[in-house]
Each structure stands twice: as C-alpha cells, then as structure tokens.
Structure 1
Amino acid sequence: MLGIVHLSTFIIGTILIVLLPGPNSLYLLATASRYGIRAGYLAALGIITGDSLLILATVLGAASILHTYPVTFIALKIIGASYLSYLGIKLFLHSVETWKKHHNPPETLAIEADISELAKAQTPYRTALTISLLNPKAILFFLSFFVQFVDAKASSPALSFLCLALILQSISFSYLTLLIFGGRKLANYFSQHHRLSSVAICIVGILFIAFSLKLAFSSI
C-alpha cells in the first residue's frame, strides 16, 4: 500500500525508538515541568518541525552529502555537541540556583517563578528546533530506518517516505503530549521540594553533557 512494506513492523519499531530517551524528550520534559503546558507544546512543536525538516533533507539527499563530504558531518557534529554542552551547563547552573533558593521566602520564590515564566516561555520552540537540527546522525538514521519499509518497486518513493514520516510524527506527538502532562505533574511535586527539584535539574544537565560527548565521538 502506497509503496510501504511491513507497516506493522514499522509502527512497532517507531514506538520503541520514540520511547528511547534523548536530548529532545529530556528538554521537553524539563521545559514542561518548569514553565507549564503551553511551553511544553511549544517545545513539542519545535521537535516536530526539526524532525520534519530532517526527514525532508533525507529525502532530498542530505545523507549522501554527509557521506561525500565528511567535513560537513564533522562541522555539524561539533556545533551540535557544543550546543548540547551549553544547555547542559546552563541546567547545571540553574540547579545550583534552585538549591540556594531553598532558603528564600515562599513569596520571593513565587515572584521569581512568575518573572522566569514571562521571560523564558517564548524560547522553547527555538531551543527544541535547534536541538533537533544540530544532530546530523538523525539524517542518517531516518534514511537507514525508512528505506527498510519502502518498496524498491514503488512508483513514487517520495510518497512512501511522506506516509512513513506522518506515521512517525503522529506517534512522536502522542508521546510528547504524555511527557508534557507528566512534566506538569512533576512540577507540582517539585514546587514543594526545591532541593529534589535541584537534583533532578542537575541530573538532566549531566545527561545533556553526556549526549554532547556521545555526539562528539560519533562517526558516520
């Protein structure tokens, strides 16, 4: 159907892949828990947009460019790893600030939270989009994964890729929605346990740094 083979296997594989933790899902979870549902959906939209652009780049032949010109892959890899490290360090520093605020009066914490929300709630889309786009491995993944489910005799392979992309994005959006509301519940809990919140933010920051190192030492 539409040049797609083994559709059920594709769906199962996509669900398993989407469930794997990565910098995008961790960023969305942290954003939803800190800034609320609206900011969480802005981050989700950034992730969906970034993945869609990468899938489009894959269909248009970006993967072959990365193979033909390894320096392009290296440059993107360095930029992506640096950006993830930057976000990880920012989260780590924020965890230190959160730990220190444990001794502040509740009124002060509430005011600071309102200011933080107004100042930063508009940035999740751009940040999530940047995290998605600065991952050259994603282009190679989409190509190697999608091509397994496109019939070699398909009259319109581009249409097959489009259908697979829509299925993947639907599954991804459903999972991101669960993370958003899960993050909001965590926010209600962490608002009463600032030190635990500090530790959680610190762990996420360390994971981002770990993701940056993994990307930095990856190869085509």
Structure 2
Amino acid sequence: MFGITHFGFFVVAVFLLNVTPGPDTAYIVGRSVAQGRGAGLMSALGISAGCCVHSLACAFGLTALLAASATAFTVIKFVGAMYLVYLGVRLILTKPESGQAAGEARACAGAPRSLRQLFLQGFWTNVLNPKVVLFFVSFFPQFVSAGSGNKTVAFLTLGVVFVVMSMAWNSFVAWIAGSVTRRFSGNPGVKKWVDRTVGSAFVGLGVRLATATR
C-alpha cells in the first residue's frame, strides 16, 4: 500500500522504541511528577504535535536537508539544549506555595493558558531535538519502497501510525506517573524537592543534547 514495505515490522519497531525510555519519556514523566496528570498529558500531546512536524518534513524532504547540513544540526541542537536548561532552571528556582495559594493562583491564571504553555513546551522540546530529525530521516525510509510512486503518501501514512502509537504510550506514561505522585501534590516541602529533582533532570537532558554528536 503506497509503497510501504514490512509494515508489521514497522509497528513492532515503533512499539519497542516507545517503551524504551528516552528524552521524551523523561520529559513527560518529569512534567507529570512536578505538575500532575494534566500537565503530563498536555506535554505528551505537544510532543506528538512535534512528531507531526517531523513527519511532514520527512515526507516533503526537509528533514533530509537538515540532516545533511552540519550548521543546521548544530544550531537546532544548541537552541533545543538551551530551551531545556531554561525550563529546568525555572523549576529549580520555583518557590513552593501552599495548597490554597496554589489553587488561587491557578484560578487567577486560568487553566487554558497553563495548558497551552505546557503543550507548547512539549512541542518545542521535540521539534528542537536534532536527534529526532536524524531518527526520522534514517528510520522511515527503510519502510518505503525505492520504486514507489507515492513516497510522500507513504511517509505521511507511517507518520500517522507513529504519532498515534506514541501518543497512546506517552499518555499512559503520563497517567501512571501523575497518579503515583498525586498524593504528594498538597505537600509544599515534597513538591519543592520534586521540582528541584525534575528541574535538574531537565538541565541534564539539555547538557546531554548540547554534547550530542551526529
């Protein structure tokens, strides 16, 4: 169909890739632990939206151009690393609030704005990760026939399958992580150390991304 080959193997490979912990999983777990299920689920949705961008870029050839350019790779790498470090430092420096104060703050700020920010943060952490670019350009072409006359449709179809499977797994991870830590959300002391731990993990991810090589 559309020149797609070994589709069953593709599904199995995507499943195994999803259940193997990586930067996206670490980010979603971190958000779920620090801010609850909703934050984790919105982060998962944002990351999936980022995968949609990579799928479109792969289908229309942009990903291959980025992967071939050392300058583009370096720029994306450092921008993504700085963004993760920025998010981590913000969590580390956040002052804990009492349950009542936090509730009033959320009521004043409005949930939609908070959810939008969480979505965008998840989106950008995925889009600005050059390793994801290289993954798409090296993984997807293995399942598209070189002689296919519908390569664009084939790449888009594989992208949809990848995004749907990843979103399902990431949502499950966010739900579990948020459920486990839900009972600690009302304790400012515990939340302070959770924020610092998660923030440090984000900084670590940023440093790891900055030192990544092609």
TM-score by length of 1: 0.82
Letter matched to residue 91 of structure 1: L
Letter matched to residue 8 of structure 1: G
Deviation of 1:16 after TM superposition, in Å, equals: 1.8
Matched residues in 2 for 1:53 and 1:195: separation? Answer: 39
Per-residue deviation, residues 27-71 of structure 1 (Å, max 9, x unmatched):
333434444444443322211111101121122222332244322
- Identity, % of aligned pairs? 29
Per-residue deviation, residues 69-109 of structure 1 (Å, max 9, x unmatched):
32222111111111111112122223xx34xx6xxxxxxx1
Instruction: Within 5 Å, give how 1:148-159 maps onto structure 2.
Output: 148-159=142-153
| 2:60 paired residue number | 60
> Is structure 2 residue 201 aligned with structure 1 residue 217?
no
Instruction: Within 5 Å, give how 1:67-146 maps onto structure 2.
Output: 67-94=67-94, 97-98=95-96, 109-118=98-107, 119=109, 120-146=114-140
Letter matched to residue 121 of structure 2: T
Letter matched to residue 134 of structure 2: L
| 2:181 paired residue number | 187
> Is structure 2 residue 156 aligned with structure 1 residue 167?
no
Deviation of 1:181 after TM superposition, in Å, equals: 1.8
| 1:105 paired residue number | none
> Is structure 2 residue 37 aligned with structure 1 residue 6?
no
Letter matched to residue 57 of structure 2: A
* Count of equivalent residues: 209
Unaligned runs of 5+ in 2: none
| 2:15 paired residue number | 15
Letter matched to residue 171 of structure 1: M
Unaligned runs of 5+ in 1: 102-108
Per-residue deviation, residues 162-196 of structure 1 (Å, max 9, x unmatched):
12111111111111221232133123222365544
Contact 2:34–2:191 (8 Å) recurs in 1 = no
Letter matched to residue 70 of structure 1: A
SS of the residue corresponding to residue 153 of structure 1 reads: coil
Letter matched to residue 118 of structure 2: P
Deviation of 1:206 after TM superposition, in Å, equals: 2.2
Contact 1:26–1:204 (8 Å) recurs in 2 = no
Matched residues in 1 for 2:204 and 2:5: separation? Answer: 36
The structure-2 alpha-carbon separation of the partners of 1:121 and 1:63, relative to structure 1 and needing over 3 Å to count, comes to closer
Contact 1:62–1:139 (8 Å) recurs in 2 = no
